[in-house]
Amino acid sequence: MNDRTCIVSRERREPDELIRFVVGPDGAVVPDLKRKLPGRGCWVSADRLHVEKAVAKNSFARAFKRQVDVSPHLADQVDQIMVKSALGAVGLARKAGAVALGAAKVDNAVRSGEALCVLHATDASQDGVRKITQARRATAHLGGPEIHAYKLFSEAELSLALGGTNVIHAAVLAEEAGKAAEKRLMALDRYRGGSPEDQAMFAAIAEDETAAEDME
């Protein structure tokens, strides 16, 4: 059971690519995102699709070799725990001075390469997102870092976590507290299916650079 193999796909993965589950005293399967709960555990690929499949296919009972109580809302429970963890880490980063708020400050953090990642509220305007996306693209084109953007939280959630009002855009900065927050944001984004638009944008930039080098 310590073998880090997804009980759904049967693929071996790194710990950060998996979610550990254990059986509680009441026989219920519970997520152990910090990998610290006692008892034997099983592993599921760290995305919602695999958690839902594990529930639907009765994979937990087979993995633990016993009858277990599995909530039909287990995938939602994992999401909620990840949201709480990510927002908590972003809040701590803000207190440590590792978060910039507001479109202008975010744009500056991106263009200077200080930003690790960008947060847009799910209800952000397309125009505001577009301008910061242009800054991220320009920074990458000039040889700077690939700064990913996440739309994971509402304006209300961001405002509460960051102690502000009407927080629509934020940048997590390249400091220790910022790195801890980015790790949790990446995990939540991966769980929800990733950001294919970001991946496509940076892949296109890399192709353009390769083509330019080939022409030199």
What is d(CA 22, CA 44) in angstroms, rounded to the nearest whole number?
11
pLDDT at residue number 195: 83
User: All domains of the chain, ordered by start, with CATH?
Assistant: 15-73 (3.30.1230.10), 83-215 (3.30.1330.30)
Q: Which band of pLDDT confidence, cut at 50, 70 and 90, is reported for residue 2?
A: low
Average pLDDT over residues 95-120: 96
The average pLDDT across 87-96 equals 97
Give the global pTM.
0.89
| pLDDT of residue 1 exceeding 80 | no
Task: Return the pLDDT at 56.
Answer: 97
**DSSP letter at 87?**
H
pLDDT band at residue 208 using 50, 70 and 90 as cut-offs: low
Residue 214 has pLDDT above 70, yes or no: no
Give me the pLDDT at residue 134, please: 95
Phi, psi of 140 (to 5 degrees): -65, -40
Predicted local distance difference test score (pLDDT) of residue 203: 82
- Residue 95: which pLDDT band, with cuts at 50, 70 and 90? very high
pLDDT at 9: 95
Give me the residues paired with residue 115 across strands: 173
Q: What are phi and psi of 100, to 5 degrees?
A: -110, 135
Q: How confident is the model at residue 116 (pLDDT cuts 50, 70, 90)?
A: very high
The predicted pLDDT at position 199 comes to 78
Share of the chain above pLDDT 70, in %: 94
- pLDDT for position 38: 92
Structural tokens at position 123:
């209800």
pLDDT at residue number 113: 94
- String of DSSP letters for 171-216: EEESSHHHHHHHHHHHHHHHHTT--HHHHHHHHHHHHHHHHHHHH-
- The per-residue pLDDT for range 127-169, each reduced to its tens digit, is 999 999 999 999 998 989 999 999 999 999 999 999 989 999 9
Proportion of the chain above pLDDT 90, given as a percent: 83
In the predicted model, what is the mean pLDDT of the chain?
A: 92
CA distances from 187 to 33, 51, 82, 92 (A): 10, 14, 8, 17
Q: State the pLDDT at residue 212.
A: 47
Smallest CA-to-CA distance from 92 within 166, 190, 182 is with 182
Please tell me whether residue 150 adopts helix, strand or coil conformation: strand
Q: Which amino acid is at 145?
A: P
For helices 74-95 and 155-162, angle between their N-to-C axes, nearest 10 degrees: 50
